[in-house]
Structure 1
Amino acid sequence: MEKHVVVIYPHPDDESFGAAGSIAKFREQGVPVTYLCGTLGEMGRNMGNPTYANRETLPVIRKEELINACKALDVDLKMLGYRDKTLEFEDRSEVAANLRQIMDEIQPSLVITHYPEHAVHPDHNALGAAAIEAVRLMDSDQRPVVWAQAITNNYYDVLGKPDIRNDISDFFENKMEAILCHDSQAAGVLGQFKHIDKLESEIQEDIKERFSKEEFYTWKFED
Structure 2
Amino acid sequence: MTHTIGFIYAHPDDETFLSACLIRQLVDKGERPVLLLATKGDAGKKNGHVAHLSNEELASLRVHEMQQAAEILGLTDIEHLGHPDGKLNQVDEILFIEQVAEFINKHQLQIVFSFPEDGGNFHPDHMSISKVTTAAVLSGKCPSVQKLYYCMSNTLLQQGHEPSIIIDTKPQWEMKANALRAHASQLLAIERYFGDLSSFPENRRYESFVLCWERGVLWPQKQELSVLDDLN
TM bracket, shorter-chain basis: 0.7 to 0.9
Distance 1:13 1:141, change over 3 A: closer
1:169-191 CA-to-partner distances (Å, cap 9, x unmatched) read: 32222211111111111246529
Distance 1:222 1:31, change over 3 A: closer
1:59–1:47 Cα change, 3 Å: farther
| Unaligned residue ranges in structure 1 (runs of 5+) | 197-203
Question: Equivalents in 1 of 2:114, 2:171: separation in Å?
Answer: 22
The answer to whether the 8 A contact 2:47-2:187 is kept is: no
- Listed one character per residue, the Cα deviations across residues 29-65 of structure 1 (whole Å, up to 9, x for unaligned) are 01111110111111123234xx244241322221211
Contact conserved, 1:136 with 1:143, CA < 8 A, in 2? no
1:201 alignment counterpart: none
Give the alignment's Cα RMSD to 1 decimal: 2.4
Using the TM superposition, give the Cα deviation of residue 118 of structure 1 relative to its aligned residue in structure 2, in angstroms: 4.2
Partner AA of 1:210 in structure 2: N
Of 194, 203, 207, the match for 1:210: 203
Q: Would you say 1:10 and 2:10 are equivalent positions?
A: yes
Which residue pairs with 1:37 in the alignment? 37
The verdict on how the C-alpha distance between 1:134 and 1:140 changes in structure 2, with shifts beyond 3 A counting, is: closer
Contact kept? 1:26, 1:33, Cα under 8 Å: yes
- Alpha-carbon distance between aligned partners in 2 of 1:2 and 1:113, rounded to the nearest angstrom: 21
1:90 matched residue in structure 2: 91
Distance 1:188 1:115 in 2: 21
Query: Residue 82 of structure 2 aligns to a residue in which SS?
Result: coil
1:83: how far off? 1.0
Q: 2:86 is matched by which residue type in structure 1?
A: K
5 Å-filtered alignment, 1:107-118, equals 107-118=108-119
The alignment's TM-score, normalised by the length of structure 1, stands at 0.84
Q: What SS class does the counterpart of residue 159 from structure 2 fall into?
A: helix
Q: Name the count of aligned residue pairs.
A: 210
After the TM superposition, which residues 27-66 of structure 1 pair with which residues of structure 2 at under 5 Å, given as runs? Answer: 27-48=27-48, 51-56=49-54, 57-66=57-66
Q: Runs in 1 of length 4+ with deviation above 6 angstroms?
A: none
Q: Where do residues 159-170 of structure 1 align in structure 2 (5 Å cutoff)? A: 159-170=160-171
Q: How far apart, CA to CA, are the structure 2 residues paired with 1:180 and 1:159?
A: 34
Larger RCO, structures 1/2 (Cα 8 Å, 6+ apart): 1
The 5-angstrom pairing of residues 39-188 of structure 1 reads: 39-48=39-48, 51-56=49-54, 57-75=57-75, 76-119=77-120, 120-138=122-140, 142-151=144-153, 153-187=154-188
Deviations 1:79-113 (A, max 9, x none): 11111011111122221111111211211121110
The answer (yes or no) to whether the contact 1:2–1:110 under 8 Å persists in 2 is no
Structure 2 residue matching 1:219: 3-state secondary structure: strand
Which stretch shifts more, 97-106 or 159-168? 159-168
Q: Which amino acid aligns with 1:122?
A: P
**1:24 lines up with 2:17 in the alignment:** no
TM-score (ref. length: structure 2)? 0.81
CA contact (8 A) 2:101 2:141 kept: no
Identity of aligned residues (%): 24
Secondary structure at 2:31 match in 1: coil
How much has 1:133 moved relative to structure 2?
Answer: 1.0
Cα deviation for residue 159 of structure 1 reads 4.1
